[in-house]
Structure 1
Amino acid sequence: MWLQQRLKGLPGLLSSSWARRVLGLLGFVLLLLWYVGGRARRTGAGPGLHLLPWSSGPGEPRAAEPQACVEAATRAWRVLQERGEAVPLGTRVPDGAADPESAPAAPPALVGNGFLALDVSHNRLWVMPGERQPPVAPELAPFVQLRPLSAQAEAGAAALLLRQGLVRRVRCLQPPEPPPGAGGAAGAAGQAASAGAGAQCVLLQEDFLAHRARPHLYVQRIHIHNPTERVAALWTVGPTPRPPLKAFSSTLEKAGDHQFLLHSGHSPPLPNGKVNLVVVAAKKLVDLLQVAPKSLLDEAVLWVVYISEPVDLRALKAKGAKEMKELKALQDLARKEILELMEIPVAELLLDHQQLWAQLFASGVEMKKINDAHTPSSLTVNLTLYYMLSCSPAPLLSPTLSRWERDQMEATLNYEDHCFSGHATMHAENLWPGRLSNVLQILQLSDVWKLTLQKRGCKGLVKVGAPGIMQGMVLSFGGLQFTENHLQFQADPDVLHNSYILHGIHYKTDHINLAVLLDGEGKPFLHVSVKPHSPPVKIYACEAGCLNEPVELTSEPQGHTFPVMVTQPITPLLYISTDLLHLQDLRHTLHLKAILAHEEHMAKQYPGLPFLFWFSVASLITLFHLFLFKLIYNEYCGPGAKSLFRSKEDPSV
């Protein structure tokens, strides 16, 4: 009864102005407290305000902390991405299979060295035994998977670092909150550590790479930073055979202070019924990684892979003597190399790998400005170059190469006769695809590129391996070709509306950079610069027709510019040679009809609409006016025409 009476009096209370103001002010304050507290929790910048009864307490996991930790750890990737040296692979790359929703959007996470190809996202291994031979895919998960013993929340990201030749994956793990009453000092220290964003998270960074100079070696480097007050523990799983095919057996072997696992087995059967024997030796990693509070852990797992020529599966099952001898020989090779590698500091192996990849990317293609939809983007060009280098061996970079063999390969690399013949490949979409979805597509693209280069006069460069493949791709992109006496730039004058730079073109002992740039009016011009090496060699250049005296190319920072001239008939736009007399004589051997500036050539190529079109338009306009004149004449001057002026006697007025 009391409550009913109070409810009946509520409308009268709200009719008072001061009561409505107090109620409105109270509602505004509650709304403000809810907004400020929720924003503080979402940003992870502080403990937030837990003043409302439904607000989250200190024990609730804050999902923003791992994400803030990931953003801090990957901040340096943004600068590399702007320079075209890093490609993000999505917000999370799982240990097993990729997320089906995010996988198609990200390029394949491939690392390789021409013999090994590894898909980090799907934890798969391919072995490329040789040219024109199908890749071998052992049923073995190649990498170690790290699984936290306990984690309240997790976030991660991954990127492909092109100039370092590796995939880097970052994971931030938020450990569970300590139980109530677990220790006043520890609890207070944990709360103090959580004051900053991501301070409670354990940072796990993994680098995956296939060593550039050692074709049988791939590495997984593990770095763990534990800033919390608790021990961080992670289970290690793998490498393991993939079910249901368990074609591998594993043994633990010891040699002195070193322990390693030896996995022996065979690949899935080929269409002809044969298989490849596969032996993988791996450094032994403890089953549980434990990182003390406020400390770091650096670990690296080394793998060595050897395969045999195809053998008959039935003979293998029958334990034939030949097959067992081959398997034992592979095991001996794997044991020997893994023991040698375990004596080398891991930092030295990683530094050697990164320096070699940086040398490969001293050459390349840089897209400055794209003005059409058919020219590949900078991301497409960089990814294609990286993938082709990852699928190409590099015998020139091998530490076991003799001095004579090295000199022969370098001579081929510095001057390759008649490479690249034919038109430029800039607009060949099958060679510069905008999207590659899996590793098998990349391996097929590598075969197409090698076949194209071989058929266009670049067999010597393909034999050199990855440095030669890079050189051939750069030459083909812009339409550069070596001849007996010079290097010529024979791009199509009609497609010079895009700006790009070809870096590190090997010529003799020097490196040449050639750029196609646009001035303020959109007119193209050529810019050439030289990076000399000892001993210095004089290099000269002249534009199309070589009517002007050749210019000596120097190492001046501003370089040298040349106008784009178009000859009739069409000849190369630029000639580069170390023989000055050859360039001076060249003008007398071209036999040209005319030399035009680029804008004059384009005006003749596209003179506008044909005469018949304009004649038709003019005829239609003339006929329309004649018809209009006839209508007016019949209205006022024909039979029964009306007078132009009406008199007052007109009854209609």
Structure 2
Amino acid sequence: MWLQQRIKVFPGLLSSSWARRVLAVSGFLVIIYWYIFSGSHYRSFWYSGKQWGVSGACLQAQIVQWKTLAEKGDVVMVSFPGEEIKLQGPAMVGNGQIIVDVGKNNLWVSSLSVLFHLTNYSPLTLFKNVGALAETHATAIFLKEGLIRTIRCLQVEASDSPRDCVTVREDHFAHRSRPHVYVQNIHITNPSDRVVTFDISSQKPLTGETFSTSLEKVQEKQFLLSSGRVSVEDGKIILVVVATKKLASRLQVSPKSEHDETVLSVVYASEPIDPAKLSDTFSKLRENAKKEMFELMHMKTEDLFHEHQQIWSDLIVSGIEMKKITDLHTPSRDTINITLYYMLSCSLAPLVDPALSNEEREKMESFLNYADHCFTGHSSMHAENLWPGSLSGITQLLQLWDLWKLTLQKRGCKSLVSAGAHGLMQGMLLSFGGLQFTENHLQFQSDPHVLHNSYSLRGIHYNKDLINLAVLLDQDEKPFLHVSVKFQDKLVKLYACEAGCLNEPVELTSEVRGHIFPVLITQPLTPLLYISTDLTHLQDLRHTLHLKEILAHEEHMAKQYRGLPFLFWFSVASLITLFHLFLFKLIYNEYCGPGAKPLFRSKV
């Protein structure tokens, strides 16, 4: 009986306009909440299920490890069906001499005297299946291997089993130690019971000047030689010559079999020249391209990839790892990783150039091992223009590359910039952490206000050794410093002491557990950590700092943020009290004062 009476009340409630508005707003908020917090999981389930069918299930099985690698920071997803995780920048590979925009199928070239210019040449070889019922693909940048990988799953027959799908894996990389070489490696697996056919072609530009192509032959080896030009300022041109492996126009893969194909491209670009010198310049570039292509065609693909990966692994010995971010201004792990990848891909690596003289090599290595006065000024951690969350394309990427080089040059890192990709990585590492080399030591001078973030800087070159420095947080969210060393050459003793150097310096060792230092803040502000090979220098340092006080980090922050003054809180409390008194007076006058309205109306 009681329930029936309550139900009869609802129509009366909905007759009120304000009740209908409240109900509409509540329903809208519920929908928004469901979309934000449940939509991504729902979409993942939808896309991984019937929406993408057999080819989607096949793709899920092929890239099951990608998400694990992405969580570790080793992979940046470019495109993935059913997930809103699109790379906020170009999908590119490069080595400082060439850049290949894999997403747009564009080739950019540079020379010693000019920066990158876009050509009208399409570097990718396209493998299109004939008669596929469905196709699904995903793309990712593999940071530790320096390549872009795309996996395509093709449903070629009416089967409900994902195991019958044909998979095509494509790897793209610009060779790190061979600056003129671009490699596209294709691996096709056909588990079905039918022959699978692919049409092989290259995309032709719709506008602009096309490249002319001819068939070349060197000792029974055939390849295609394409040539074109890029117009630059002052009426000059850059001549571009590309030698590419010749492939058949159609490929058939037998049932229950696999097929590998490696497409090699050699790209040579001239300095800006007058059109009158076109013939002589073309002859030189043509001979250089033919010579290198002939050498590559006699190499094993595995050896070529091993060369590239060895140099790339050497580059990423150094790096930045974000462990915990507690504010909105610190760049994310993916933003840092992809920015480092982009900057390395735009830079030459002269240290691995076999043509570099021993004298020049020793000079660059000395810059790398002890970059005196680099990095001066405040840390670049919160410089959003240096660590952008998104890039519109290669043009904006090259502008970022120029900005990084300019910033490092103006902050005492000019010698590192001249060392190419290895030096640029080291300069970015020092700038992020606020590390600076002086005449006698390396000092960590990070802003105390950013130490609520936890991060690690690995591979800091000190002489020929590598130092790992981490800012970590304990159980009470208090920061401390963790330092370890990886000795590369003969053992050289390294010492470290915290801010003020009041305690005896500690000798650093290669032990896995490393060394822990407290975060102390001095007045006036001085570096948080000193590292040096000179023990006496650190012992003498304490007498030259002339400090007023030394506080623990939490004590320093407590003094900086003492809260709002008592007068502010008293004013807020007074306003709240006065408002409620005024509200009470209005209600009293309405129902209890002279001429008050009756609380209940009579039904009669």
- TM-score, normalised relative to structure 2: 0.84
CA displacement, residues 70-89 of structure 1 (integer Å, 9 cap, x when unaligned)? 11111121221111011111
Conservation of the 8 A alpha-carbon contact between 1:241 and 1:248 = no
1:126 pairs with 2:108 = yes
What is the distance in 1 between the residues matched to 2:184 and 2:195?
23
What is the distance in 2 between the residues matched to 1:348 and 1:236?
25
1:392-431 equivalence runs, <5 A: 392-431=347-386
2:78 alignment partner, one of 89, 96, 100: 89
1:153 pairs with 2:111 = no
CA displacement, residues 176-208 of structure 1 (integer Å, 9 cap, x when unaligned)? 45xxxxxxxxxxxxxxxx56x322211111101
Equivalent position of 2:187 in the other structure: 223
Q: 1:310 to 1:402 in 2, by over 3 A?
A: closer
Q: Which moved more, 1:473-482 or 1:402-411?
A: 402-411
What is the distance in 2 between the residues matched to 1:103 and 1:116?
27
CA displacement, residues 145-193 of structure 1 (integer Å, 9 cap, x when unaligned)? 111122111111111101111100111112245xxxxxxxxxxxxxxxx
1:589-604 equivalence runs, <5 A: 589-604=544-559
Equivalent position of 1:306 in the other structure: 268
1:292 pairs with 2:254 = yes
Amino acid at match of 1:85: D
Conservation of the 8 A alpha-carbon contact between 2:90 and 2:394 = yes
Conservation of the 8 A alpha-carbon contact between 1:368 and 1:500 = yes
What is the distance in 2 between the residues matched to 1:462 and 1:491?
22
What is the distance in 2 between the residues matched to 1:245 and 1:616?
71
SS at match of 2:214: strand
Conservation of the 8 A alpha-carbon contact between 1:171 and 1:203 = yes
Q: 1:380 to 1:258 in 2, by over 3 A?
A: same
CA displacement, residues 575-594 of structure 1 (integer Å, 9 cap, x when unaligned)? 00010000000011111111
1:397-546 equivalence runs, <5 A: 397-546=352-501
Give the deviation of 1:611 after TM superposition. Answer: 5.6
Amino acid at match of 1:284: K
What is the distance in 1 between the residues matched to 2:135 and 2:148?
20
1:77 alignment partner, one of 66, 82, 92: 66
Equivalent position of 1:20 in the other structure: none
- Cα-Cα RMSD: 2.5
What is the distance in 1 between the residues matched to 2:65 and 2:87?
22
Q: 1:408 to 1:271 in 2, by over 3 A?
A: closer
SS at match of 2:371: coil
Amino acid at match of 2:124: F
Equivalent position of 1:207 in the other structure: 171
SS at match of 1:67: helix
Larger Rg: 1
Q: 1:421 to 1:288 in 2, by over 3 A?
A: same
Q: 1:580 to 1:102 in 2, by over 3 A?
A: closer
Conservation of the 8 A alpha-carbon contact between 2:79 and 2:86 = no
SS at match of 1:311: coil
What is the distance in 1 between the residues matched to 2:77 and 2:240?
33
Conservation of the 8 A alpha-carbon contact between 2:88 and 2:391 = no
Q: 1:233 to 1:615 in 2, by over 3 A?
A: closer
Q: Which moved more, 1:402-411 or 1:227-236?
A: 402-411
What is the distance in 2 between the residues matched to 1:509 and 1:290?
53
Q: 1:572 to 1:583 in 2, by over 3 A?
A: same
What is the distance in 1 between the residues matched to 2:115 and 2:343?
16
What is the distance in 2 between the residues matched to 1:88 and 1:403?
40
1:108 alignment partner, one of 67, 81, 90: 90
- TM-score, normalised relative to structure 1: 0.78
Conservation of the 8 A alpha-carbon contact between 2:195 and 2:254 = yes
Amino acid at match of 2:255: P
Amino acid at match of 1:247: T
Percentage of matched positions with identical amino acids: 57
What is the distance in 1 between the residues matched to 2:514 and 2:132?
57
Give the deviation of 1:244 after TM superposition. Answer: 2.7
Give the deviation of 1:612 after TM superposition. Answer: 4.9
Give the deviation of 1:104 after TM superposition. Answer: 6.8
1:264 pairs with 2:227 = yes
SS at match of 1:337: helix
SS at match of 1:343: coil
Give the deviation of 1:264 after TM superposition. Answer: 1.1
Give the deviation of 1:443 after TM superposition. Answer: 1.0
What is the distance in 2 between the residues matched to 1:247 and 1:328?
19
SS at match of 1:452: helix
Q: Which moved more, 1:588-597 or 1:419-428?
A: 588-597
What is the distance in 2 between the residues matched to 1:212 and 1:460?
21
2:145 alignment partner, one of 146, 156, 164: 164
1:527-606 equivalence runs, <5 A: 527-606=482-561
Conservation of the 8 A alpha-carbon contact between 1:305 and 1:334 = yes
1:244 pairs with 2:244 = no
What is the distance in 2 between the residues matched to 1:275 and 1:104?
37
Conservation of the 8 A alpha-carbon contact between 2:474 and 2:480 = yes
What is the distance in 2 between the residues matched to 1:130 and 1:265?
19
Conservation of the 8 A alpha-carbon contact between 1:90 and 1:106 = no
Please list every run of 5 or more consecutive structure 2 residues that lacks an aligned counterpart in the other structure. 1-44, 583-604
2:307 alignment partner, one of 335, 339, 352: 352
Give the deviation of 1:400 after TM superposition. Answer: 3.5
1:319-398 equivalence runs, <5 A: 320=276, 322-398=277-353
Equivalent position of 1:174 in the other structure: 155
